Amino acid sequence: MEYCVVLLSICAGLVSGICWLVGSDPEVSEAIDFCRHYAELSLQLEDPTFMCSSRFEPVEVTVVASPWNFPLAIPVGGVAAALASGSTAVLKPAPPARRCAAELVRAFHDAGVPEEVLALAAVEDGEVSRRLVVHDGVGRVILTGSYDTARLFRSWRPDMRLLGETNGKNAMIVTPSADPDLAVRDVVASAFAHAGQKCSAASLLILVGSAGRSPRIARQLVEPILADHDFAGSETIVMVNGMGGTPLIELYLMYGEVKALLDAAGVRVARNL
């Protein structure tokens, strides 16, 4: 068990760029929680009281299309949900996460899930992937990705039973009554923890009233950012992933004091949303 956890943690770190010791361990724990959660819920499908006299009919095949930035918890959650609801599952990971997906599928097989019940489709994005998700034998698709990808899937097959978790813009609001120390700590942690890859990471900071004119908040916010991340001389505050420097999360600072400090440090602040 310990070997499996360490191996999956390292795989997750290599894929998403997070510190495997700090960032991957919670993700492995979340994956374990998913397995326990859906196993418990599956028992309720046999409970007439819970089902209210309705009859549950599982789909035959569920395709789980998982992302690269959370290569463990999200695919495990989708696969566990499908299996617990009586469906076979095909895991189609994002190409950078194929190694991690192979290890977690092997973990499911080692735990007793038959190979014919859970399969890995480690294919590139493209025509083969399209044929997989639109196949007549696929009864449901679980997608974690962009809204554009969800729309693309539906354009391929309008009647697709699609369960989608798509991207959004997450804001943190700091009011004048907030504790500055706690606010700055939470903003920096939300924006930059987990290598900035969390789908719930703060990408917009809104300071209300006097909070936006507070030199204390400005100074406390800028210092840990510039100390912990090499932003000096960069064009903008932006987190990048480990897959060639694709911009992933921008932290928008909507007030003058912080912008002035960052300008002095040679960092341009993105303003447009």
132 vs 36, 65, 90, 99, CA distance in Å? 29, 10, 9, 20
Chain centroid offset of residue 152 CA? 20
Residues identified as active-site: 165, 199
Chain centroid offset of residue 92 CA? 15
147 vs 63, 127, 131, 153, CA distance in Å? 18, 20, 20, 10
